[in-house]
Amino acid sequence: MAIEIPEARKVGMVSLGCPKALVDSERILTRLRADGYAMSADYAGADVVLVNTCGFLDSAKEESLAAIGEAIAENGRVIVTGCMGNEAELIRAKFPDVLAVTGAHQYEAVVEAVHEAAPPSQGPFVDLIPQPSDAEIKLTPRHYSYLKISEGCNHACAFCIIPQLRGKLASRRIDAVLREAEKLVAAGTKELLVISQDTSAYGVDVRHEEREWKGRKVRTHMTDLARELGQLRTPEGHAPWVRLHYVYPYPHVDAVIPLMAEGLITPYLDIPFQHAAPNVLKAMKRPANEAKVLERLKAWREICPDITIRSSFVVGFPGETEEDFQYLLDWLDEAQLDRVGGFRFEPVAGAAANDLPNPVPEAVKEERYQRLMEKTAAISAAKLAAKVGRTLPVIIDEVGEPDEDGDIGATGRSQADAPEIDGAVYLRNVPASLKAGDIVQVEVEDADAHDLFGVIV
């Protein structure tokens, strides 16, 4: 008599927020697949739906609550996890039918909740089959991967509640991080995006302990990590791009710049400056060393002329005067940052900044935000225009369909462009053999304020 193997239970996932949350989603789904679950691409086919929430800003919370509501309406069997998990009472008050609520990166609790809501259907015969524990589920394209090196943060910035949501800094073992990176590159990753709440602080909590890796000792430290990641090679023998995000400008960051000049890691730093005016930085409880930063930016560019500096700034922080804002604009003229994101200050429950005096009116916030974007767009346009005529390496993200003339276009990114947050490189007349993940040499033919346009050479 034939034995009927039961159909696997299916889990749906809605992942919101930053890349760090996306990594959490990947790890949760990987664990569930190892337990015999299948993934569902829609609400209808899921036995249970996970909503990985973001709770960084009130607007993000509203988006998370809307996603929970949609999942409840479309499926009805919903488990909530992520940064809003510490507001379980609010979630349950609004959605009493939610099956469970867990906090950020609480993988065991999420998996247990899924087991209770939709017990694994695998029987004794299926249990004998080895589970693919080495096959990680990725929610990003095959050619790039986020590499999370730590959790939590030791800072106490007035506008932020990340330490309340994700706790104090907890660094991963450096040998475990390098092993994961090696596996990702071996499986087809061409670009590693190193992420954390504070990449520069990696290893502080463990006093930069040493671990054995490839027959030598390596410290749990950002510079050691960067150097080792620069030694990785794809199956074709090429060095993957290694991109550093959320890098606070501590003094030891200077040691990473020569690695970029040597081509070991991608010449790109994502530094969350947030502001430049000393009064605002002090109110934000952030180090006010804007003048020294300008000196260091100049020194970095002398060592590695192609370095890209990306940052983000908050306008309309309580107490920010017109003089403070003008200081920021003048500082940006000096700093000439390559990529800039802007945010209007937004109160978030639990943040110290909510109690600060002299809130900035919404209309003033908006006006300053528009001026910030105008300033940074002009800087970006000039920097990109200077690249016209150059030949740059570009990683391909998407290849289009042939048009009526048979021409094929493609979208990629230069080393100055991180996925989702920076610009793109648009290519014309690419070969039909081109595919996502290919790294090609591109002659830049044109540019606008944010993107480049070119052709493969």
Binding residues: 18, 54, 83, 153, 157, 160
Structure-block tokens of residue 227: 């150097």
Helix (H, G, I), strand (E, B) or coil at 87: helix
| Residues 326, 308: Cα–Cα separation, whole Å | 24
What is the gyration radius of the CA atoms in the chain, in angstroms? 23
| Residues 355, 25: Cα–Cα separation, whole Å | 34
> Which positions make up the binding site for [4Fe-4S] cluster?
18, 54, 83, 153, 157, 160
Phi and psi at 314, nearest 5°, equal: -105, 125
CB burial of residue 39 (10 Å; 0-12, 13-18, 19+)? middle
Residue 262 CB neighbour total at 10 angstroms: 11
Helix locations, 202-267, DSSP H: 222-229, 257-261
Nearest in space to 214 (alpha carbons), one of 200, 222, 224, 205: 224
Phi and psi at 219, nearest 5°, equal: -80, 150
Nearby residues of 295 by Cβ (< 8 Å), 6 or more positions away: none
Contact between 240 and 234 (Cβ < 8 Å): yes
Helix (H, G, I), strand (E, B) or coil at 23: helix
Name the strand (E) or helix (H) holding 363.
Answer: helix 362-385
Amino acid at 361: P
Amino acid at 240: P
Helix locations, 13-171, DSSP H: 19-34, 58-74, 88-94, 107-117, 124-127, 162-166
Contact between 287 and 241 (Cβ < 8 Å): no
Helix (H, G, I), strand (E, B) or coil at 158: coil
Contact between 349 and 59 (Cβ < 8 Å): no
Nearby residues of 40 by Cβ (< 8 Å), 6 or more positions away: 10, 11, 12, 46, 47
